[in-house]
Amino acid sequence: MQLGLIGLGKMGANMRERLRRAGHEVVGYDRNPEVSDVTTLEALVAALEAPRVVWVMVPSGAPTRDTVAELGELLEPGDLVVDGGNSRFTDDFDNAKLLGDKEIGYVDCGVSGGIWGLANGYGLMVGGAQESVERAMPIFDALRPEGPREEGFVHAGEVGAGHYTKMVHNGIEYGLMQAYAEGYELLMRKDIVTDVPGAFKAWSRGTVVRSWLLDLMVEALEKNPGLDGVSDYTVDSGEGKWTVEEAIALEVPMPVISASLFARYASRQLASPTMQAVAALRGEFGGHEVMTIEEGNALRRGDEAMSPAQQAAAKGIVEKADAERPRDAQQAARAQTGTQTGTQTESQPSAAQQD
């Protein structure tokens, strides 16, 4: 089958190669002339025999909308456009109408698999008319993983359903990544656990938390067990936000995915206005010392507590840890303190504990 493919980045170039290996003729166009088969969109359309199928694989938003609009001026009635990028599902309604008015078909296709899709295949979630989906099925079959079609491909519904399903897929991905990451931090914090990478690797077979994402976490930890030098600044591509917005619109409780999205937002803050407000309020109602930003950063680095505010914070941390120890351990520590100093072994909670 012949296909025009627009967008030859990491995924697009690999998709072109996978399709060619399956025996399809692919004419690719990209703004980068070094990877493009033709020099313009006009040349791509001219190189394809009617009725044409053109796959758009460019960044979501304006780049995709503009490309679809341009194709609407170049293609002919009976041609078909597949949007395989990460467009918001609402864009599909407009794209389908624009092309439909010109009697050009439209299918939206959510694609999962990343840079490993060339070897492993891509998970495909499509929306559109049955006739249009069937027409592009040889392409879908070449791109999806080997095995039963239903284990790597779904015709999820009408126009927009493919990207909607992919949006929810990515929201779930956010939650899974956050859960693995939180488990990593807890294991790293506990002194009795000495092989955190080994723990993750042991989970990769036979456990209920095994997954491809876990396999990727294992690979990352094998390269860099402590994730040294890796910034915690974490971006998002939009699908997680759209998923949460849809949950609100449809009144679907979504605490895990929402929290994972908010954690990414928090990762981008040098200082949290929320926690600055909390610290200020503690100072007002309890008379607690309030640290400057630099004093707080110094404590995070493990520097010696020098200022009164730092010393108060450090003391509160110690007293909190003492309060949370098992009762027998507390009594032993207090007895030891009483023996050494002759002071009372029972004490009242500090202001830090009363917070």
The catalytic residues are 166, 173
SS3 306: coil
CA 177 to chain centre: 7
CA 145 to chain centre: 22
172: which 2 tokens?
A: 């779930």
On whether the CB atoms of residues 74 and 102 are closer than 8 A, the answer is no
Residue 235 to residue 320: CA distance in whole angstroms: 34
Residue 202 to residue 40: CA distance in whole angstroms: 51
On whether the CB atoms of residues 123 and 144 are closer than 8 A, the answer is yes
Could you give the dihedral angle defined by the CA atoms of residues 52, 155, 150 and 210, in that order, rounded to the nearest 10 degrees?
A: 110
User: Strand 80-83's sheet: what is its strand order?
Assistant: 25-29, 2-6, 53-56, 80-83, 105-112, 123-127, 153-157
Residue 114 to residue 164: CA distance in whole angstroms: 18
